Amino acid sequence: MKHFFSIIGGMGTIATESYVRLINHRVKIKRDQDYLNYILVNDAQVPDRTAYIMDHEKPNFFYDLKDDVLGQAQLHPDFFVMPCNTAHYFYDDLAALTDIPFLHMMRIAVHKFVEDYPDEKKIGLIATEGSIYDHLYADEIHEVGREVELGGSEIQPMVNELIYSNIKEKGVVDGELYHRILKKMHDDYGCNVILLGCTELSLAQEKAPDHPYNVIDPQSIIADVSIELALKIRKGMDPKEACSKYLYE
């Protein structure tokens, strides 16, 4: 297969399925050959990311991802994409394993926020406890000179229920709960824009988009970027040159 990218997924599987569905449905096609070339590594056995980040006595998920990246690197994809926000805890270590471009979903999303909402000095953030605990998104947001609003103590339990109890455990999206979280972040904490810092939240946005709130959806954004890069490379652009636009330092 010529010119393909590798997806390091399975964290979780339903969220990865959402990313794949987005790239398949958003690319413009007239024939089968117009779809993108990619290899999906749906590694559902990667240990829980939040559990390890909050307690290093828990299984370390780096080694599973390392094996996945090194295995795919032998096939020489044009670039890597990893549709899991919390797994970016080990982004630097994973990207250092190969000279193949490795897109940073969180960084790309934060720069998209600045581009789309240049006058907004604050962004609401809802995410896994692991991402919140280790400031994965907060650091990226502060790096571009913006403030982060996490809401009050009632927000995280609601987010956890949506991510774990509903989507991961039952495979369903509670749209009413998702909308309630967005409403509280907007009405109670003054967030004109809310960043969905977990791919399960991106799935909620895909399944329940009928709300009036402004969201930054990293999975949707990385899907669009994946399509853009894959098509540029297919037309003859060097993969590293194509990806350089999104490899923010």
**Given 94, 198, 223, 225, which residue is catalytic?**
198
Closest CA to 65 of 37, 36, 38, 96: 96
Q: What are phi and psi of 218, to 5 degrees?
A: -55, -35
Active-site annotation holds for 198: yes
CA 208 to chain centre: 18
SS3 for 12? coil
Residue 232 near residue 3, CB atoms below 8 Å? no
Query: Which of left, alpha, beta for 152 (phi over 0: left; psi -120 to 50: alpha)?
Result: beta
Residue position matching structure tokens 């964290």? 11
Told to judge if 84 belongs to the known catalytic residues of this protein, a careful annotator would answer: yes
Contact 65, 94 (CB under 8 A): yes
Spot the catalytic one: 81, 84, 110, 162.
84
Active site residues: 84, 198
